[in-house]
Structure 1
Amino acid sequence: MYKTILVPVDGSAMATKALDSAIALSQTFGASLVTLCVYRHHSPLEASFSMVRAQSESQNRPDDALKSYASEIASAAKERARAAGVADVYGYAKRGQPSRAIVEFSRQHGVDLIVMGARGTGDIEGFLLGSVSYKVSSLASVPCLIVR
């Protein structure tokens, strides 16, 4: 039924629950599993106010540090899936506005199902303007499973 399952992850407990559900679905359907961590781009103004500081000379901008952290989250999710027995699993980090980046990624990679947590590590904007999971489920052209 499903060939490729996408699970956006952000390091939150809810994302881990969604990942575990996606792992079970992947094993049930023999589907490949794709983990994706989206990090937000900082404008030069935002970067000047950022609390994120470079850890090395190769990470001299907030975007570099955020990309590195997002890659670690996606990789950890991929390893969790591998440890659970999923053989066909991939991990990606992508810059962008989370809901749009997730939907765009799902279209580009031929995803059949998106599994995500109901709430992640979002900020107050999520409470005021709607959660990422709500936006993704509204914009996506494939089924979305929202895990609580």
Structure 2
Amino acid sequence: MEILKMPKLMKTLTCICLMLPLVYSSDLLLLDSLTIQDAIKEHENIMIEFYAPWCIHCKAFAPHYEQAATQLKLKGENIVMATIDGTSVPSELAAIWDVRSYPSLLFFKGGKFIEKYIGPRVTEQIVDYLIRKSKSEDKNDL
């Protein structure tokens, strides 16, 4: 059936359905316990948020983290922002990076853990931190 011959309501619904992936797409990389190590190796600069589905602080922080990922993408920065359900990560792995609370934000560069982010949990501060860290070559700045 040609779109031109479709009733107006059907045309509208078709347009909405075609646009849904654009509206609900995320700039975050979703990880699990099987993909986290590969993601760290694959991406030069990556921040990973360890969250818990029941955590109210994680839920409040989620829009800021998502906005930071979008801003970095729009700026063309070589920084990946990822998220993982920390309750699904083996405890040995969480212990290596000292993940004891949620949300925990960990920055990796060149496949190596650099540090936990402990700054303000707002979009602009996270973006500034990640840009600074990703461009830093000096070990003291990392």
Q: Same fold (TM over 0.5)?
A: no
Larger radius of gyration: 2
TM-score computed with the length of structure 2 as normaliser: 0.30
TM-score computed with the length of structure 1 as normaliser: 0.29
